[in-house]
Structure 1
Amino acid sequence: MASSSSSSCNWECDVFPSFSGTDVRITFLSHLIRELDRKLIIVFKDNETERSRSLGPELKLAVRTSRIAVVVFSKNYASSSWCLNELLEIVKCKQEFGQIVIPIFYRLDPSHVRHQTGYFGKMFKKTCCNKTERVKIRWRKALTDVANILGYHSVTWDNEAKMIEEIVNNVFGKLLLTSSKDSEDFVGIENHIAKMILLLDFKCKQGRMVGICGSSGIGKTTIARVLFNRISRHFQGSVFVDRAFVSKSMGIYSRANPDDYNMKLHLQGNFLSEVLGIKDMKVFHLGAVGERLKNHNVLIFIDDLEDQVVLDTLVGHTHWFGRGSRIVVITKHMHLLRSHGIDHIYEVHLPSDGLALQMLCRSAFKQNYPPDGFMKLASESAVRAGNLPLALKVLGSYLRGRDKKEWMDMLLMFRNGQYGKIEEILKFCYNGLNNKNDEAIFRHIAFFNREKISDIKLLLADSELDVDNGLKNLAEKSLIHEKCNTVEMHSLVQEMGEDIIRTQSNEPGEREFLVDSKDICDVLQDITGTEKVLGMSLDMDETNGLHISEHAFQGLDNLQFLSLFTKKGDLGKESSLHLLERLDHFPRKLRLLHWELYPSTGMPREFHPEHLVKLQMQRSKVEKLWEGVHSLSALKEMDMWGSENLKEIPDLSMATNLETLNLGACSSLVELPSSVRYLNKLEMLDMSFCKNLEIIPANINLQSLSHLNLSGCSRLRGFPSLSTNISSLSLDQTGIEEVPGWIENFTQLRLISMRGCEKLCPSVKSSLPNDSIPRVELNFINCINLDQEALLQKLSVFKRLALSVLSGEEVPSYFTQRTTGTSLTNIPLLQTTLSQPFFRFMACAAVDSGSISISHFSFVIEVSCRFIDILGNHFGSAYWPLYLSTAPLGSHLVIFNCRLPLNEDNAYLAKRDYDHVDIQFHLMGDCSEFKLKGCGIRLCEDYTPSPDIAAHRQMKSTVDKKRRQMKSTETVQVKVKCGKTERPKKQIERM
């Protein structure tokens, strides 16, 4: 009997094929593997390993770590003791942990395998010679057992391709229903997955939207996460959009409410970046998703949907996406699904009493059943929790490790009516926290939900709370969970936490945390705050013109966290919060000061920033922050982006722990104070579009500084003095005239962008970083004085040049192969090239942006190569560099190194007689006015054509007729996104 331990296996492959190489390797099996690869199903490949009589430990491991074994019986299968021993291992895995076995009888009668008769039987008897009786019996039994499994008989199929398609669909379906590590802790999950697989209907070639609907806490997100993890690798692109993703995607917009056009664009850009694996994509019209993904087979999950606008913005129609795409929307609001035209909906219902008991036991006892003596207690507890998965998990975590008496005491309180509703059960678990520290951490997390754990620790560092242990204990009690350095609390648990805080007092000004807009308005307008208030978080869009006096913060002596933000992204809007007069003070203990659109030109008369960890005042009207020198050792982040009235930065010499300083778009700033030289932990300095900035301190030699952005500082003339540790340097549209020679020592530099630096001298090429840099992106668009040819000579030394952009109309003569079209053909190919891991050349694309009048645009250039032999056989490889531009209009030259990964089975390909290569350029952009005017390549120095290539070509011409008749091709698909190479997958196609 197969055990249930299959879910515990560490799967390495999806499919292990067992076959006779002499019969099927280059025919049927190659077709089957090609189709499996196309479905992104991982197949174990032995790469024609020399087979011995015994089965080695590596191959045994390969069998055991494959989810499915496909056994291809052919006439010579039994002639190999290797195959028969392989079959024994497969049968053993089937018995031990339920490995799925699919037999295929290729041009062979299944009864001949079952009874070892006919030619198959003769081969079997021959192999059995000199074998012990025990071995013979085991082989016979294995053959009979596997032949009795329902499989595929090729003789009954008129079309072999159709049979292969059916086999692959069967394998794909079984993989989706195979449990794995990600699901073994979720009771009943496989039943949910099976029902979702039916709704998704992967046999349907068209795109499809499916909904998951159910009440809060019922397990919708759990189902979605497991399903996504299981099927996402079978798609060309995938993304799981949750609340944290949407909020993070808003960037400077603070939070997610994309009812504004700019927000929709920003959200779409981040969405496309995630799906396509391309960093920092920007879009400029709301048709970008459809344009970019219409030919992509993608998987998209949108979780915890509350807003129809998010749905419309990201997945407006199925025709936005390629054939076979699947979109899954998870929400508790059925009307959102219906209004979007989603008819395939899976409604998640409460689990049965039996499953609910298992869920509770899994949480309380780490097993699916209660220990002796706990059955009645556990059963009643599950019923009291209303069978709701969230409540079962939280209650089980609370009861973990408790004895019978504690269980009975809890149930007695339930019976007496003290706790009945789900919210009350959650509150009961909160009351069961072991100490005041954990309770306080819980209330803080209800305020800081979905914030970075590192930020929470910094903000609470000055308190007496044990944050690490508190978070650990809350996670063990299932009241929070940690994901990607972010702490998340379920919405029901957060609401319960906010309710607990409300019960602290009938007066809002006497509660720890305030998040209700009416409560905050009352406290600030009526000046009723007290020292009990620790935090305020106000969405100013929820207020209708709030007017407060200069004494608004009087009494709030212990206020540490102040966040006044706007969800809407209208950069030109005015604050809905108005100061009647300049504030007289901010509380001295403030650690977080986040006030967008701060309405006053001056800070409070009494302002003590000594405790600040984060100062975020984007788009404020403030002209000056504070006078004098303050101890700012706690300050980690200072963000004044868009504060156009800010005229000077205070002395920051004591901000020795500052890591991020964002002064972007502070257009009134004239100079950066010399005190920045003391910021020894500063990592990012952004002063982009400070259009009046003229002075940078002579020596900002900060060892920690890795990102500097001075783009748009048009009055800046001198190149900043920097540490050699800088990795990203943006100097677009500055007045810089010369790049100093010492920049060649910047070995960490990955990006230098100087677009539109019209005064840059021609000799910049002598100052470029040296070729020891592993990967660098250079941008010199509209630097009209540059010596282009000299620069190209310099660029040629960069073996890992990511990207270089210059202004220009035509592909320079430096590129030895060039054309005004999009294709380069018949480029001589060294016969030994395919034994190398990469085919390398420098590429150039001449791109015309036409007459478009936008400040930002983006496009992708796809370069594909086709290596062809004298008989017409070929394989291909592709590379996608990315180019994002903020340049003015005109023609551009995009130059980059292509390192095309060759097939993983290079030894096999090297036997082929490939003699030339065709290269195709393809442009994909946001705007139809983009044109590819020409392209060119220059083979790298380590590549030299074969001396006998001409003779080889003459021989090739004699077989042209045969080549036209041949219809077989071999392809290799390779994706390179932002310099990261996915493992190539071999594909073989026979036509």
Structure 2
Amino acid sequence: MASSSSVSCSCLYDVFLSFRGDDVRKGFLSHVVKEFKSKGISPFIDNEMERGKSVGPALEKAIRQSRVAIVLLSRNYASSSWCLDELVEIMKCREEDKQRVITIFYQVDPSDVRHQGGDFGKAFEKTCVEKTENVKQAWRQALKEVAGIAGYASSNWESEADLINDLATNIMGVLALTPSHDFHDFVGIEDRVTEMKTMLSLQKKDVKVIGIWGPAGIGKTTAARVLYDQVSPEFQFSTFLENIKGCFKRSFGNDHQLKLRFQEKLLSQIFNQKDIVVRHLGGAPQKLNDQKVLVVLDEVDSWWQLEEVANRAWFGRGSMVIITTEDRKLLKALGLEANQIYKMKFPTTDEALQILCLYAFGQKFPNYDFETLAWEVTELAGNLPLGLRVMGSYLRGMSKKEWIDALPSLRSSLDSEIESTLKLSYNVLSNKEKSLFLHIACFFAGFKVDRVKSILEKSDLNVNHGLQTLAYRSLIYRENGYVEMHSLLQQMGKEIVCRQSVEPRKRQFLTKATEISDFFDENTKLFFFNIPSSVSFVF
């Protein structure tokens, strides 16, 4: 007997649909299929399969390679020997492979199916003509069993649309019972998602909201995606709006049009309809305020993206909104309390090594004789998942000597993918905030907060506000009274300064010992009389 886990491993389809085409194909079934596809459910339908005298190996395989079988029992279902043979195979698969079977009694009484009575029974008797007793007995037994499975009776529903929607939601829940392996390699992510779900479960409001906050590259989007995949089957409608800050860039003086476009995108994805037009800002609330929906707003970086869509009045009772951002101030402005904001945690040292090894070696531990090198690269990445992934992928397949040769480059310069991701947060800062960031990256990381304030008190950098802004945007953090910055952000800051000019003396800071030494050598005689006022030194 095959186990349910073995079946799920070989499944090609989400759902197998057994039906009598003449009864339902152009009407009810077409709406079912449309709803399934809109929710990402992959159905197998034997419309184009050549029908012979019996269910062939290809169809038997399709039934067994489907995670759920839906038997759509209509008035003339039993008039087809093909349907009855199909049903026998489905019930056999239910018994042997523990396949989930869902029944729909469409304009037919379940008792007529069980006992082969009424018009259903008459159709069955005609089909039984000239059949062997063994075949007839197998059909009767299959009909008796399938009639005993609790399912959907169309007579109990005022609207077929409601029946179909409930069926699709039910199927999504059933499919979610099979563990997803999409995030199997994301070390430690499940523990973090469990903590987020606990935060949500403690909220008593009709619409639950949680913010996921942390620096670029730490895994906020991944965690939100795992959480989304786990809870989305509970919702009638759901959508994951990715990279909002990249897709909806604000243009001065055109906020209204941007908000309309944002609402159109949101509604199009929630209802899986193209070309939805929103003509006024009340359009989305009108369509959503009586719906239970799940919305993920990924990578939010501006208040306008939240002031409309994160209004709880937009959504129906039981809805949930998940927001990821690098800017904690936005979450506070939204009114979220501390127990509604999840601070994304860095991986532990052991988890960081496992992440690196997955990308470098395809396993959670280093290859023989690579352990010391793997630990060194892990430290260079500062336990940042993005850095671990990029560095691990870069080193994959290299020999030990090639690793050693690559280390100086990894120490001295940032990979372009890492830099472009980290720099997004830097680019939105004001000029004074950027200057303060560079001061900390080049000078003051690891200094006491009071010491930094004291040194820069006579500058025009507005240090108190600037430090708060950098902390909100996850560019620095304060720990035990010290200003700390991630090592990759420090490296980025120093590289920004280096690119200010090819001539070191024209840069804001000198950070490399060789450049400082050269500067002194070239200016020994003039040093005490003519130091450029724009130059600072790091020793």
TM-score range, shorter chain: 0.5 to 0.7
Per-residue CA shift, 1:617-666, capped at 9, x if unaligned?
Answer: xxxxxxxxxxxxxxxxxxxxxxxxxxxxxxxxxxxxxxxxxxxxxxxxxx
Q: Secondary structure at the match of 1:69?
A: strand
Q: Distance in 1 between the 2:407 and 2:179 partners? A: 29
Q: Tell me the CA shift for residue 221 of structure 1.
A: 1.7
The structure-2 alpha-carbon separation of the partners of 1:63 and 1:302, relative to structure 1 and needing over 3 Å to count, comes to same
- Give unmatched runs, 5+ long, in structure 2: 270-277, 396-402, 424-473, 477-484, 517-530
Matches within 5 A, 1:706-785: none
Residue 70 (str. 1) matches residue 32 (str. 2) = no
Matches within 5 A, 1:258-657: 262=253, 264=255, 268=259, 271=262, 290=281, 293-294=284-285, 301-305=296-300, 307=301, 309-312=303-306, 315=309, 317=311, 327-331=321-325, 336-337=330-331, 339-340=333-334, 385=350, 392-398=354-360, 400=362, 406=369, 423=382, 434-437=403-406, 440=409, 443-445=414-416, 448-450=419-421, 495-499=486-490, 501=491, 514=497, 524-525=507-508
Please say if residues 241 and 303 of structure 1, whose CA atoms lie closer than 8 Å, have aligned partners that are also in contact: yes
Per-residue CA shift, 1:295-335, capped at 9, x if unaligned?
Answer: 55697532244x46254356253566899997532247787
Q: Secondary structure at the match of 1:3?
A: helix
Q: Distance in 1 between the 2:280 and 2:343 partners? A: 30
Please say if residues 16 and 62 of structure 1, whose CA atoms lie closer than 8 Å, have aligned partners that are also in contact: yes
Amino acid at match of 1:240: L
Please say if residues 361 and 367 of structure 2, whose CA atoms lie closer than 8 Å, have aligned partners that are also in contact: no
Q: Tell me the CA shift for residue 185 of structure 1.
A: 3.2
Q: Tell me the CA shift for residue 393 of structure 1.
A: 2.6
Per-residue CA shift, 1:318-371, capped at 9, x if unaligned?
Answer: 5668999975322477875465256996969999xxxxxxxxxxxxxxxxxxxx
Q: Distance in 2 between the 1:551 and 1:422 partners? A: 35
Please say if residues 301 and 327 of structure 1, whose CA atoms lie closer than 8 Å, have aligned partners that are also in contact: yes
Please say if residues 17 and 69 of structure 1, whose CA atoms lie closer than 8 Å, have aligned partners that are also in contact: yes
The structure-2 alpha-carbon separation of the partners of 1:333 and 1:525, relative to structure 1 and needing over 3 Å to count, comes to closer
Partner of 2:5: 3
Q: Tell me the CA shift for residue 83 of structure 1.
A: 0.8
Q: Secondary structure at the match of 1:393?
A: helix
The structure-2 alpha-carbon separation of the partners of 1:21 and 1:246, relative to structure 1 and needing over 3 Å to count, comes to closer
The structure-2 alpha-carbon separation of the partners of 1:293 and 1:105, relative to structure 1 and needing over 3 Å to count, comes to closer
Please say if residues 214 and 348 of structure 1, whose CA atoms lie closer than 8 Å, have aligned partners that are also in contact: yes
Q: Distance in 2 between the 1:526 and 1:40 partners? A: 54
Q: Distance in 2 between the 1:528 and 1:168 partners? A: 62
Amino acid at match of 2:8: S
Please say if residues 8 and 178 of structure 2, whose CA atoms lie closer than 8 Å, have aligned partners that are also in contact: no
Residue 246 (str. 1) matches residue 245 (str. 2) = yes
Bigger RCO (CA 8 Å, 6+ sep) = 2
Q: Distance in 2 between the 1:339 and 1:90 partners? A: 55
Q: Secondary structure at the match of 1:302?
A: strand
Q: Distance in 2 between the 1:67 and 1:16 partners? A: 8
Q: Secondary structure at the match of 1:165?
A: helix
The structure-2 alpha-carbon separation of the partners of 1:91 and 1:325, relative to structure 1 and needing over 3 Å to count, comes to same
Amino acid at match of 2:78: A
Q: Tell me the CA shift for residue 27 of structure 1.
A: 7.6
The counterpart of 2:169, out of the listed 151, 172, 176, is: 172
Q: Distance in 1 between the 2:366 and 2:422 partners? A: 36
Q: Distance in 2 between the 1:87 and 1:405 partners? A: 55
The structure-2 alpha-carbon separation of the partners of 1:291 and 1:445, relative to structure 1 and needing over 3 Å to count, comes to same
Q: Tell me the CA shift for residue 105 of structure 1.
A: 3.3
Amino acid at match of 2:241: F
CA RMSD of aligned residues (A): 6.4
Residue 82 (str. 1) matches residue 82 (str. 2) = yes
Q: Distance in 2 between the 1:408 and 1:28 partners? A: 61
Please say if residues 6 and 97 of structure 1, whose CA atoms lie closer than 8 Å, have aligned partners that are also in contact: no
Q: Distance in 1 between the 2:514 and 2:42 partners? A: 61
Please say if residues 3 and 97 of structure 1, whose CA atoms lie closer than 8 Å, have aligned partners that are also in contact: no
Aligned length: 421
Q: Secondary structure at the match of 1:329?
A: strand
Q: Secondary structure at the match of 1:54?
A: coil
The structure-2 alpha-carbon separation of the partners of 1:349 and 1:228, relative to structure 1 and needing over 3 Å to count, comes to closer
Per-residue CA shift, 1:561-601, capped at 9, x if unaligned?
Answer: xxxxxxxxxxxxxxxxxxxxxxxxxxxxxxxxxxxxxxxxx
The structure-2 alpha-carbon separation of the partners of 1:337 and 1:8, relative to structure 1 and needing over 3 Å to count, comes to farther
The counterpart of 1:160, out of the listed 157, 168, 191, is: 157
Q: Which moved more, 1:316-325 or 1:78-87?
A: 316-325
Per-residue CA shift, 1:184-208, capped at 9, x if unaligned?
Answer: 2323999969x97x979xxxxxx96
Q: Distance in 2 between the 1:491 and 1:94 partners? A: 55
Please say if residues 18 and 71 of structure 1, whose CA atoms lie closer than 8 Å, have aligned partners that are also in contact: yes
Q: Tell me the CA shift for residue 405 of structure 1.
A: 5.7
Q: Distance in 1 between the 2:268 and 2:51 partners? A: 40
Residue 225 (str. 1) matches residue 225 (str. 2) = yes
Partner of 1:54: 54
Partner of 2:528: none
Q: Distance in 2 between the 1:42 and 1:3 partners? A: 19
Q: Tell me the CA shift for residue 271 of structure 1.
A: 3.7
Please say if residues 15 and 66 of structure 1, whose CA atoms lie closer than 8 Å, have aligned partners that are also in contact: yes
The structure-2 alpha-carbon separation of the partners of 1:236 and 1:172, relative to structure 1 and needing over 3 Å to count, comes to closer
Q: Distance in 2 between the 1:428 and 1:312 partners? A: 31
Larger Rg: 1
Per-residue CA shift, 1:69-98, capped at 9, x if unaligned?
Answer: 321234543332111122244346657876
- Give unmatched runs, 5+ long, in structure 1: 201-206, 251-257, 279-286, 352-381, 453-489, 503-507, 534-548, 556-991
Q: Distance in 2 between the 1:199 and 1:410 partners? A: 41
Residue 150 (str. 1) matches residue 153 (str. 2) = no
Amino acid at match of 2:71: V
With structure 1 as the length reference, what TM-score do the two structures score? 0.32
Structure with the higher helix share, 1 or 2: 2
The structure-2 alpha-carbon separation of the partners of 1:29 and 1:40, relative to structure 1 and needing over 3 Å to count, comes to same
Amino acid at match of 1:393: I
Q: Distance in 2 between the 1:553 and 1:67 partners? A: 67
The structure-2 alpha-carbon separation of the partners of 1:527 and 1:185, relative to structure 1 and needing over 3 Å to count, comes to closer
Partner of 1:944: none
Q: Tell me the CA shift for residue 174 of structure 1.
A: 2.8
Q: Tell me the CA shift for residue 103 of structure 1.
A: 1.0
The structure-2 alpha-carbon separation of the partners of 1:530 and 1:405, relative to structure 1 and needing over 3 Å to count, comes to closer
Amino acid at match of 1:315: V
Per-residue CA shift, 1:901-941, capped at 9, x if unaligned?
Answer: xxxxxxxxxxxxxxxxxxxxxxxxxxxxxxxxxxxxxxxxx
Please say if residues 103 and 150 of structure 1, whose CA atoms lie closer than 8 Å, have aligned partners that are also in contact: yes
Q: Distance in 1 between the 2:35 and 2:316 partners? A: 19
Please say if residues 505 and 535 of structure 2, whose CA atoms lie closer than 8 Å, have aligned partners that are also in contact: no
The structure-2 alpha-carbon separation of the partners of 1:236 and 1:290, relative to structure 1 and needing over 3 Å to count, comes to farther
Per-residue CA shift, 1:350-402, capped at 9, x if unaligned?
Answer: 99xxxxxxxxxxxxxxxxxxxxxxxxxxxxxx9863xx6x6643344456466
Q: Distance in 1 between the 2:497 and 2:486 partners? A: 13
Q: Distance in 1 between the 2:137 and 2:257 partners? A: 67
Amino acid at match of 2:409: A
Structure with the higher strand share, 1 or 2: 1
Q: Distance in 2 between the 1:7 and 1:33 partners? A: 24
